[in-house]
Structure 1
Amino acid sequence: MKTKIFPFLLAILALSACKKDDPSEEETGFDINNPEGYMIFTKYTCPDCYSSNYIYLFDFLPGKRIRTYSSYLATSEADYTVVGGNTIVTDPLGGFSYTFTFANRRITDVQNPHFTFSDTTLIQKSTVNQLAGKTFKGKYYRKDGTVLHENFWYRFAGDNKVEVSALASGITQRTESYVNVGNIAAWVKSVSGANTDSEIMVLVDGKLEVNYRDQTGGVKVYHGTFDEVK
């Protein structure tokens, strides 16, 4: 009997070791009372919005402050309050307050009476630039779902610069310096040659979520989800 029990115990120990190598949600390190080091990525739209997929990035800062990044709205910063141990309510950011609800250390809901949200994700910042040295390619879409650019490229260098092309060949058409946000996002406040245009690129689950605000002849915001070129 002992020789049969011993292998069984080894199997149990092996399973326990595997569980420790694969942290549960409770072991991820996110603390709603101290969320510094994390960001919330979401997309939103509204009946009168210029895009059907606005990107909005919320960056938790020290001192219970939060900052926003997008291609459309100006960057803004405000205080926030933790309510009931599972909810964060912000003071007005760009004129609007936001309510984030969490469960099991994951974000489950974003509320704002003016917008409809989708693809909301809690992202941990990185200690190294996750975009540097990578190339992404995809399609840019208009609000109505028609294709604006069939082939669009972003090639990230290691010095917070990105080469951009809308050509099928991928030949660089412009190079931008970007604001590095949490080592997983790039924000270009003013596109070269078009100072009123801006763009944002966020790495989410291995894909690059992108927005470009075009001010030519009225505001237009284009969107896309790009794959990494390996």
Structure 2
Amino acid sequence: MKTKFLLIMLAMVLVACNKDDDNQKPDPQEERFDIHNPEGYFLYAKESGNSGRIYLFEFLPEEKIQVHTLEQEAILSYTVIDDNIIDIVNSGVQFIFDGNIVTSNNNQYDELVLIKKPESNQLANNIFGGSIYRSDGSQQGNLFCRFTSDPDEVFLDFGYGATSTNYATIGNIATKLAVDVNNDGNNDDNLFIVLVNGKLEANITDGNSTKITLFAFDLNIADYMLFAKEAEEDGSNSKFTLFDMQLDFGAVRTFVADDVVPVYSYYKIIAENTIELLNEGTQFVFNENAVLSNNDRYKELVLVKKEESNQLAGKTFAGTYYNADMTVLHPNFFYAYHNNDDKYDAGFEVGTALRTETYTSLGNIASVRVLDNQDVELMVLVNGKLEVNYYAKIEDTVHYGSFTKQ
């Protein structure tokens, strides 16, 4: 039988790519809590120290309170004392209310938060993810989950690939799930999740009782691609990576000209506005539309919004192609995208096509094409210019061009 006594602390960070403005974290309290009519409220409590055990107290009619925890459900009775104290019968625990501020005579609680029950599902259409840490600070792994609505499904990935299951909410802010943490084929582990103050707090059992905290990452970057241009100090070896920031299952899709097959780069969230790519330690910090990185090789970082319609169609771009050492390869070159199909013309003089290619659109702001000779053209529209990497397979080198709209 699995032991339930070893406590492991896990620290994780939430990524919340909201698809619907109605599905946000619970609103701050706008009305004063009425201790004599508490129905419609939850009281969230978290134990201090390494246990991190969380409780969700749900106020019921007739001075009853339902306690939701990882291991059990219980309905207890309470009494009101002096119009500001709720005393849980036969427990010795009291909660003291000063408006919406809550304290307790029980010093085991590190955090107490009143939450008004929202009218809609606050978990739906959000993606959460981050790293898992034990109480000694060592990393255990990662957990990523994506909640959907209609139907209410949650997709979970503990590092073994995503699985899905249906879920039901507790008061539109919490849920309990049977999960497979160890990839043994059995959903015999438990996950208890509560969304509070923009954080996803959770307890999980995988043979041990564990704690998870996921901090809010509310930047809506799922509709963007990140253009990351790298080069040497003298401008040579100029090439770029295109990151699709969909952030599904803890990974971003990356496109580069010299490896045309999209690669999934796994990440963890290390702050409210920062992700770190696990395979290389590169961090990206998102401040509104500005992006910074700890990786010095990136000389230009731009978030480019994906569009509903093809932004390349019907446009012609012309400029100069450079070798990797920044000597001129072609002083004049152009790309002319067709208006009514996924094709473009290419050549030296605008209007005189040397070849016509069929491309694959990426987010309606970029395109990729593998040529007959296995060379690759990767192009993206950034700040009104067409940034291009041409990978010459035989030479195993990347040529660079920046083309202006004609």
Class of the TM-score when normalised by the shorter of the 2 chains: 0.7 to 0.9
Say whether residues 1:221 and 2:366 are aligned partners. Answer: no
Q: Cα gap change, 1:81/1:208 in structure 2, threshold over 3 Å: closer, same or farther?
A: same
SS in 2 for 1:35: coil
Matches of 2:289 and 2:334, distance apart in 1? 35
Q: Are residues 1:80 and 2:267 paired? A: yes
1:120 to 296, 301, 304: 301
What is the distance in 2 between the residues matched to 1:186 and 1:110?
Answer: 28
Is 1:212 the counterpart of 2:390? The answer is yes
Q: Higher relative contact order by CA 8 Å / sep ≥ 6: 1 or 2?
A: 1
Question: 2 CA distance for matches of 1:32 and 1:116?
Answer: 27
- The SS at the match of 2:259 is coil
Instruction: State which of 96, 99, 106 in structure 1 corresponds to 2:290.
Output: 106
TM value normalised by structure 1: 0.73
Which runs of structure 1 show a deviation greater than 3 angstroms over 4 or more consecutive aligned residues?
31-34
Rate the CA distance shift 1:169–1:123 in 2: closer, same or farther, 3 A: closer
Match of 1:60 in 2: 245
Describe the superposition over 1:32-66 as per-residue Cα deviations: whole angstroms up to 9, x where unpaired. 5542111110111369xxx6211110002234431
TM-score, scaled to structure 2:
0.43
* Equivalent pair of 2:345/2:356 in contact (CA under 8 Å): yes
Q: For 1:76 and 1:87, how far apart are their aligned partners in 2?
A: 21
Question: In the alignment, which residue of structure 1 is the partner of 2:231?
Answer: 45
* Distance in 2 between residues matched to 1:170 and 1:144, nearest whole Å: 29
Cα distance between partner residues in 1 of 2:289 and 2:317: 30
Q: Match for 2:305: what amino acid?
A: Q
Please tell me whether the aligned partners of residues 318 and 350 of structure 2 are also in contact (alpha carbons under 8 angstroms): no
Distance 1:136 1:110, change over 3 A: farther
CA distance 1:32–1:100, shift in 2 (3 Å): farther
- Residues 1:162 and 2:344 aligned together: yes
Partners of 2:282 and 2:293 within 8 A in 1: no
Q: Does 1:141 align with 2:322?
A: yes
Distance 1:90 1:32 in 2: 18
- 1:59-80 per-residue CA deviation (whole Å, 9 max, x = no partner) reads 0223443101111134201332
SS of match in other structure, 1:76: strand
Contact 1:42 1:120 in 2 (8 A): yes
8 Å CA contact retained: 1:70, 1:199: no
Q: Determine if contact 1:65/1:80 at 8 Å carries over to the other structure.
A: yes
- How many residues align structurally? 185
Give 1:28's aligned residue: none
Instruction: Output the amino acid matched with 2:352.
Output: I
1:201 matched to 2:376: no
Structure number with larger C-alpha Rg: 2
Partner of 2:371: 191
Mark the CA change 1:227 to 1:153 in structure 2 (over 3 Å): closer, same or farther: same
In structure 2, the gaps of 5 or more residues are 1-216
**One-letter code aligned to 2:276:** V
SS of the residue corresponding to residue 245 of structure 2 reads: strand
Report which of the two has the higher share of helix.
1
Percent identity among equivalent residues? Answer: 35
Q: 1:199 to 1:97 in 2, by over 3 A?
A: farther
